[in-house]
Amino acid sequence: MMVKPIEAINDFVVKFANVNGSGSASANELFAKSILRMGVPVSPRNIFPSNIQGLPTWYEVRVTEAGHLGRRGGVDLMVAMNPQTWNADLKEIEPGGYLFYDNSKPLPASKFRDDVHVIGMPLTEICNRTYSDPRQRQLFKNIVYVGALSMLLEIDPAEIEKLFSEQYKGKEKLLTSNVQALHLGRDYVREHLPHPIGLRVRRADNVGERIFVDGNTAGALGCVYGGATVCAWYPITPSSSLAEAFQKYCMKYRVDSVTGENNYAIVQAEDEIASIGMVVGAGWNGARAFTTTSGPGVSLMTEFIGLAYMAEIPVTIINVQRGGPSTGMPTRTQQADVFACAYASHGDTKHVLLFPEDPHECFVHSAAALDLADRLQTPIFVMTDLDIGMNQRLCAPLLWDESRQYDRGKIMTAAELEAGRDFGRYLDVDGDGIPFRTLPGTHANKGSFFTRGTTKDAYARYSEAGPDYIYNVQRLLRKFNTAKSLVPQPVLREAAQKTRFGAIYYGSTSPAMSEAISALETEQIHLDTLRLCAFPFSDSVADFIAAHDVVFVVEQNRDAQMRSLIINEFDIDPARLTRVLHYDGTPITARFIAREIANRIHSMNVATIDQHRVA
């Protein structure tokens, strides 16, 4: 059975199956960027193992003129470079899709599907003929297939050459050899293969001012712009690249041009306990400090997080979530640390969480977290994940208001102490639950206090008296309540029609959700959506739930953690919130969300449009 080949312009999915360590990553990124340079939005995803060399790795590029930045699901063109995963890769191709492979050694016909279009090219043979050095043979193979694809998909080679010239500025030899490899691929296709295929890239103007960056890079810049001076961290995927990027930008922007000294300190700690401990110490002493980690690191940090909560110390923790529990799926994505962070540590604790949806918000929220930590004198978590952290995404450019002042919060100065302002470290002077603090070394005989995790009175004096304890923990709750008005508010998007259905989601689910909503609309299913941007929740979350008969909570974990958090915080009937869960470690797709919601609604046997309520 021969199936009609898929025909699509600027709207398809290409997936590269490679072997880790083969140098394919930069070639695949080059492919994505060249399309972007043609003004066509792309959305790539790295799918990689917890391993350095030899295991399978994939890079999925969604070409999307419409600008959908979530994963779509399905593959139109598979670039199958890894024999290990051949069977699985082949299965993923949509009927009528394409398989591009290295046919240097012939594969039996049984190894192909008859509903996909096979494009074979003797990549190994070409490289062996052209290059004598084994490493070159391997590396240039990747560039050769990018060249071939550019011919098959009509990608402008000038864009690729320009990317080369930017990458190899001042390295003429590398530049020419890469351009050569590119044309080797193009020439072969020109001479031997039918081209272009049904999938094509056509110049557009849909990228605009947007930038293409990963969340960890953007988050690191948020810390630089937000004025972080102390970073203590311990390596863990997928957060390490954030600390490394912070180091890179500090070296670029934070070295005093006169003295050559660093206006920052970065310590790679011995473990996560030490890294958060350093952040606690630095925060106590008035520096803006942060750490970056992932699930297992948060587990180790919890005792200190409790201390920071109880002793009221500014701390910023950027948690780039990955698949758990335990080492779980270290290189896959999830949103499964919601509980672990919201209530981190023992006793009654509650922490502020921010949920960026893309790299742009990783920047915004990281900088905001430093302000919030100082303002609220408490730990602030920025809850990103591997999907945003380590994948480049098209997003709004990073903006900084030059007139912005850092919010250092309530720090009492020597002059204020001298003027005789009553200072009680844990006195709620303003009724917002946030007390004043003094920094060590401020005044010769006023304002010093003793910090500890144990309970105390409003003047920081050790006290095990029940009323003192109650005063303190109630004030902490008041402070948490104050946080409600300081954190980013949820984003409401109303459906075109009045509807009884609502959906709540957060973080990296965002782009897939937007696309799913449009897809559902075409099926006459309308949903109002609320994107949560922070915990504590605004009261509008409860209002949103109350205003809908059915509310789906879409998230990327097994236990519907955000749903439970909402139920717990608002004390509402669990039946009001329907779980939509995706947790296999791959980023959630629009197809998955749309199908799940449509199925649920259909099985509820209700009219998708509420006639009575349609105006």
217 vs 586, which CB is nearer to other proteins?
A: 217
Contact call for residue 165 and other proteins (CB under 8 A):
no
Using rule CB under 8 A, residue 284 touches other proteins? yes
The footprint of other proteins on residues 371-410 (CB under 8 A) is: 397-400, 402, 404-406
Residue 286 Cβ vs other proteins, minimum distance, rounded to whole Å = 4
354 closest CA partner among 345, 340, 342, 336: 342
According to the binding rule CB under 8 A, does residue 204 interact with other proteins?
no
Asked if 109 is part of the footprint of other proteins (rule: CB under 8 A), the reply reads: no
CB-wise, 195 or 443, nearer to other proteins?
A: 443
From the CB of 394, what's the least distance to other proteins, in Å?
A: 10
- Residue 54 near other proteins by CB under 8 A: no
Site string for other proteins, 453-472 (x = CB under 8 A): xx--x---xxxx--------
Identify whether 194 is preceded by a cis peptide bond (ω within 30 of 0): no
Distant-in-sequence, close-in-space partners of 363: CB < 8 Å, separation ≥ 6: 218, 219, 221, 222, 225, 398
Whole-angstrom Cα distance, residue 566 to residue 571? 8
* Residue number, 106 or 466, with CB nearest to other proteins: 466
At residue 461, what are phi and psi to the nearest 5 degrees?
Answer: -90, 135
Q: How far apart are CA 8 and CA 16, in angstroms?
A: 18
Near other proteins by CB under 8 A: residue from 82, 275, 349, 377: 275
Q: Does 189 bind other proteins (CB under 8 A)?
A: no
Rg (CA), the chain: 27
- The C-alpha atoms of residue 58 and residue 41 are separated, in whole angstroms, by 20
CB of 262 to other proteins, least distance (A): 5
**Per rule CB under 8 A, is residue 215 in the interface with other proteins?**
no
Q: Which of 8, 193, 273, 572 binds other proteins (CB under 8 A)?
A: 273
Q: Is 230 in the site for other proteins (CB under 8 A)?
A: yes
Prior bond to 536 cis, omega within 30?
A: yes
CA torsion through residues 25, 29, 32, 34, sign: negative
Instruction: Tell whether residue 221 is a contact of other proteins (CB under 8 A).
Output: yes
- The interaxial angle of helices 157-167 and 24-37, nearest 10 deg, is 120
Taking CB under 8 A as the binding criterion, the range among 136-144, 192-200, 251-259, 521-529 that sits at the site for other proteins is 251-259
CA distance 301 to 314: 15
Is there a cis peptide before residue 238, judged by omega within 30 degrees of 0? yes
- Cα angle vertex 453, ends 447, 458, to 5°? 45
Rule CB under 8 A: which of 291-350 touch other proteins?
A: 303-304, 307
Closest approach of other proteins to the CB of residue 88, in Å: 33
- 212 lies in the binding site for other proteins (CB under 8 A): yes
Asked whether position 123 contacts other proteins by CB under 8 A, the answer is no
> What are the structure tokens assigned to 33, written together?
């960027």
**Quick check: 438 binds other proteins (CB under 8 A)?**
yes
